[in-house]
Amino acid sequence: MNLLAHAPALAIAIPLLAAFAMPIASRVCKRLPKALSVAALAFTELLVLSLAAQAFSGKTITYALGAVSPDNVAAAGFPVRIILEIDALSALFAIASATIALLAIIYSIKFVKDGSKFFAAALLMVAGMLGMVFTGDIFSLFVFIELLTISSAALIAFYSGRGQPYEAAFKYLVVSSIAALMILLSAGLFYGQYNLLNLAALAGVLKFTFLDKIALVLLTAALAMKCGAIPLHMWVSDAYGEAPASVSAMLVVASQASLYALFRISFILFGKAPLIETIAWALIVFGVLSMFVGVSMAIMQKDIKRLMAYHAVSQTGYMLLGAGVCLAVINNPAALTAFGIKAIEGSLFHVINHTLYKSLLFLTAGAVIYRLGTRNLNEMGGLAKKMPWTAAFFVIGALAIAGLPPFNGFASKFLLYESVFLFSPILSAIAMLVSIMTLASFVKVFYAVFLGNEVKTNVKEVPLIVLAPMALIAIAIILFGLFPEIVLEAIVKPAAGALLNQTAYTGSVL
Amino acid sequence: MSNLVFVAAAMLITVGLYAAMTRRNLIKIVMAVSVVGSGVNLFLVGTGYRENSIAPIFTNAPSLAMVMPTPQALTLTSIVINLAIVAMMLSFAMKIYQHYGTLDSRERRLKK
Amino acid sequence: MALIESAAGVWDPLIWAVAVTIIVAFVLVIRSFGKSGFKNRGDKTKPFFSGDVVPESPIKAGNLYWGFFESLKGYYAFLERLHSGLVNDYVYLFVLAIVVLLIAVFAGELVWA
């Protein structure tokens, strides 16, 4: 059996199988679950990288599940099976999910006592994320979103002993399941009219009837909820804030997977629609609100994780803004080449950068909370000398999220500022103002946590296995900041091209 | 008359969403989500229904006028998923009751 | 070259690094003109509080940006009302977003057409 030919299915199946092997593994040996989950994720990462290498060279990989041969995609002239479809855009999000999940799992080895349950849920989460970015049809999207929802709810409530994590998980589950049911409803609306569930096939036949418009609105609202756009962001601050640090880092990439679905659906299904301007402006409004309200909520927080959670909302706003600007000019070739392509490139580059610095910040917050035993900023202080490495990584993450050169956040924000400026100077000015407020709130965190009086004397630096994932992410942040053009040429431009070139996506199925 | 099933589904979804917006008891919110799920499932099954047709089983089929099998497969999947979601929400509600001693959604610790 | 081009300009981190190196060199040169005997103690290092009593307790994170929140009191009061933490409100906002989007889509149809 050619392993690489089945890589799309294996990348989802291996975390899934490893997750259900966890209870057996924990019976065999106490340490086996940890080793098994790291091994499974490392193998998944290799599969994703090999798929990405093909996808970034411009190939669209399709895989028909359950067919005699996986490339038997459209036997009857139209897709009848569940089809996985991987182009450069899916590959970008898949790499982000797999890499951050692997590092977050390595980070959490030290903290988790009874590993099998934690790692089983974490592996299910990875399967859900990869499934969401690989799937080519709208019903599997629903299934993978629910897989992701259930496993992440279990992880959010993982630290028992306090009531708050259960409350956060309950709220997350209520809103996510309602959002997912709306996605299922829109799948039913499409199926009832066209007898199709495949996105690529749907894009060809969509007639924009009354029911189609309702379905598209439901999809947009549900996915905006899942990626945490204001005013649908309420669950984000609860869930990210109460989850264990490594889970918060994984939730960041999970919400990016929803962002992928939002981008894919708004570009492929709306692409030629008469209502494209409306949806583009909806994304822009979501983006601007998320940026501004997110950061102004963040600056007043006293809980370190909750503060960072609001920043995650705020940074998602930048990506929505870039995508909205590109979508607004998609039928205007002159404007598209002038700034539209740059806007979506900036947006996708920001996805990569955001996953890196946001997960680094959550991991440093986890290290601080682990050593101090409190998450209240008013009760912290004086850690810079005791935990120099954590402090250094925090500074790198904070400067990157604030968009200061030479860190990676600046490179993507630079693309966004200047392309959005050509579309509307006011939006660009808001984006810059938000960056300044981001810096202000991280100055507050740095002052409160690392400077000032020592609140606890017997604090040590966290162990090496906790520092190592943080160090890897910090190095990536600096390298991506110093050599942005390599990332841009190798990853971001193919991904933006794949998003804009709808015929390549639809043509590979039909 | 054939649209009755869609009207019923829409009503179930509306009732569920309304209850989720207005009821303060966590168990009732779980019930609301479950009702929304039932409405969506009913809608899915309804899309595949054809009048005067039989279940899509080809063995010894008296006629070839069958209902669509795909929506039924989708519904089955979605019922299982909804069951898992509802079970999980109920267990969280139980845990919240253990910690806070109340099931009122207004008694919350996470705000702002 | 580590150069990226945006719609309106270019950004090169390496040129930036060279510029920063030159600026730091200048700063160090200017700093070397300073008096070597300067002692960092006494009243001159104390914060200036316009004649008010200097607070004794350390300044906590919650004390920072007091003026910012004071001047935006109304805005923050609104945000706190919005972030009620009620799970019912979360569903309400979701339904509201769907309704607003539906209105926007069907009204937008008339406007763009």
* Domain residue limits at A497: 4-507
Place of tokens 């999207």: A141
Write the DSSP assignment of B2-20 as a string of letters: TTHHHHHHHHHHHHHHHHH
Minimal-distance CA residue of chain A relative to B47: A192
Token code pair at residue A297: 């909520």
Residue A81 is predicted with a pLDDT of 79
Q: What is the DSSP letter of C35?
A: -
Amino acid letter, A359: S
From A182's Cα to the closest Cα of chain B, the distance in A is 8
If DSSP codes are grouped into helix, strand and coil, which group holds residue C45? helix
State the residue range of the domain holding B24.
Answer: 4-52+67-100
Give the total number of structural domains in chain B. Answer: 1
Tell me, yes or no, whether B58 lies in a domain.
Answer: no
Pinpoint the alpha helices (H) of A336-387: 341-372
The C-alpha atoms of residue A15 and residue A43 are separated, in whole angstroms, by: 9
Mean pLDDT of A424-429: 92
Residues A210, B52 contacting (CB under 8 angstroms): no
**For A90-113, what is the mean pLDDT?**
91
C79/chain B closest Cα distance in angstroms: 8
pLDDT score recorded for residue B66: 81
Domain segments of chain C: what residues?
1-35, 79-113
Looking at the domain assignment, is residue B48 inside a domain?
yes
Residue with tokens 């103002």: A433
Distance CA A132, CA A15 (A): 14
Give dist(CA A44, CA A52) in Å, integer: 12
Type of residue numbered A355: T
A203 in Cβ contact with A506 (< 8 Å): yes
A276 neighbors A502 (Cβ within 8 angstroms) = no
Instruction: Identify the CA nearest to B105 among candidates B12, B7, B4, B32.
Output: B32
**Beta carbons within 8 Å of A221's beta carbon, 6+ residues apart:** A179, A182, A232, C94, C97, C98, C101
- Neighbouring chains to B with at least 3 Cβ pairs closer than 8 Å: A, C
**Structure tokens belonging to residue C95:** 């339904």
State residue A273's pLDDT score. 65
Q: Say if B33 falls within a structural domain.
A: yes
**Chain B residues with CB inside 8 Å of A170's CB?**
26, 89, 92-93, 96
What token pair was written down for C49? 């509080």
CB-closest option in B29, B74, B78 to A174? B29
The residue of chain C with its CA nearest to that of B25 is C88
pLDDT above 80 (res A80): no
* Structural domain count, chain A: 1
Q: Alpha-carbon distance A9 to A17, whole Å?
A: 12
Top-confidence residue, C58 or A318:
A318
Do residues A304 and A369 touch, judged by C-beta distance below 8 A?
yes
Whether the CA torsion C91, C94, C95, C96 is positive or negative: it is positive
pTM (2 d.p.): 0.93
pLDDT digits (tens, 9 = 90+) for A384-425: 888 999 999 999 999 999 988 888 989 899 989 989 998 889
Q: CA-CA distances (angstroms) from residue A180 to A165, B13, B42, C1, C2? A: 22, 13, 16, 46, 43
The contacts of residue B53 (CB under 8 Å, 6+ apart) are: B63, B65, B66, B67
Q: Is B25 helix (H, G, I), strand (E, B) or coil?
A: strand
The strand pair at C4-5 and A83-86 is best described as unpaired
A360 vs chain C: nearest CA distance in angstroms? Answer: 22
Is residue B72 a part of any domain in this protein? yes
Q: Band of the pLDDT at A272, cuts 50, 70, 90?
A: low
Position A244, amino acid: P
pLDDT band at residue A231 under the 50/70/90 scheme:
confident
Instruction: Tell me which amino acid residue A449 is.
Output: V
- Residue B30 within any structural domain of the chain: yes
Tell me the shortest Cα–Cα distance from B29 to chain C, in angstroms: 8
Q: What is the pLDDT of residues C1-38, one digit of tens each?
A: 457 777 677 888 888 889 999 999 999 999 988 887 77
Other Cβ atoms less than 10 A from the Cβ of B5: the count is 15
Report residue A354 as tokens: 């955001």
Q: What is the CATH number of the domain that holds B82?
A: 1.10.287
The residues, ordered by sequence, that sit 6+ positions from C74 with a Cβ below 8 Å of its Cβ are none
Mean pLDDT score, A35-45: 93
A181 reaches C (C-beta below 8 A): no
pLDDT digits (tens, 9 = 90+) for A330-345: 888 888 888 888 999 9
Which residues from C are below 8 Å from A235, CB to CB? 90
pLDDT of A173 > 60? The answer is yes
